[in-house]
Amino acid sequence: MGRLNVGIVFGGRSEEHPVSVKSAQEVARHLDAGKYRAVWIGITQDGAWKLCDGPEAGWEDGRPVVLAPGRRLLVLDDGKYESVELDVVLPVLHGKFGEDGAVQGLLELSGVPYAGCDVQSSALCMDKSLAYLVVRSAGIATPNFWVFNKGEDVDPERFTYPVFVKPARSGSSFGVSKVSSGEELASAVEVAAQYDDKVLVEEAVVGSEVGCAVLGNGSALFVGEVDRIALSHGFFRIHQEDSPESGSENSTPVVPADIPAETRVRVQETGKAIYRALGCRGLARVDMFLKEDGTVALNEVNTLPGLTSYSRYPRMMAAAGVSLEEVVDRVVSLAVSGR
């Protein structure tokens, strides 16, 4: 059997466009060229699809392409159409239009297998309020939360502070504010509403943020080493740094997490339970809170986690002895086999 044509989609229209490009660059360094032929598809920030040689500088100048039924791309060049066959697609997109089910639905309409979570689980995990409701129904703790629509009056007297104000459907920590008093609430809601029409007000959980990298489908799940985010001050604002490759000014990921062995197992088992409850497949990073009493609660699930050199998911997998090359190989193989 020859090499598989893997369409690798990166870039995108969300705030996380630059992070997606960096993730794709890391995938390029760890794709098994003996098994896979990469077909690089970059999406510009204004939504144009480009066939290019890779996620390096100048990729936006690639040839325009469209996804067509029958597992193929149509390349538009000087008024002529060229067809490029695709065996499978690996989305390396973050945030809106990447991990919210939008591109997954497009791929399903085209009939091409794709790696990672499906339409339903992608959309569910992207909406923090809906993910909380599903996870609560599975008997897993979540923070208390309140949902408001853009423009709706929010009474600051109804909350006990501090609280976090978030866009319900946005990636990373864009639009997230920690609010210490009622006087700060209105401006925080306004900031969150810039990213989503649905705003979440969430109780502040006392404890540590821990993460769980999950790989696989159904009952056959592999979990990387747990990490813990050590904060010097403030709150964890992933992908908000000017130079994330050199570290964050207020946080350090500790991998493996410096927690007792039994707590580590509890975090991993809770992470797997959340992954299954939300219908995830392929891969996801489950972020949780480890409370002071040792209990674990959901924070959020990233269905297409960052794969950069400084991202949490590949670090947790590497600490468990699984390289990024192996991660990519496994998720692509799962997509092709349909298992």
Residues known to be catalytic: 19, 22, 94, 239, 245, 285, 306, 310
Query: Hey, what's the torsion of the CAs at 200, 206, 209, 210, to 10 degrees?
Result: -120
Contact 43, 53 (CB under 8 A): no
> HSE on the CB side for 34, CA within 13 Å?
1
Coil, helix or strand at residue 5 = strand
Query: Hey, what's the torsion of the CAs at 313, 8, 97, 189, to 10 degrees?
Result: 30
In whole angstroms, how far apart are CA 314 and each of 82, 90, 227, 284? Answer: 36, 16, 11, 11
Which residues, other chains included, contact 50 with Cβ-Cβ below 8 Å and sequence gap of 6+? 41, 42, 43, 44, 59, 60, 61, 62, 63, 64, 65
* End-to-end alpha carbon distance in the chain: 20
> HSE on the CB side for 190, CA within 13 Å?
5
Contact 6, 22 (CB under 8 A): no
Catalogue the E-assigned strands of the chain.
4-11, 36-43, 49-52, 63-68, 72-77, 80-85, 88-92, 145-149, 163-167, 177-179, 198-203, 207-217, 220-223, 227-231, 251-254, 282-291, 296-302
Identify the bridge partners of residue 302 per DSSP, sorted by sequence position: 285
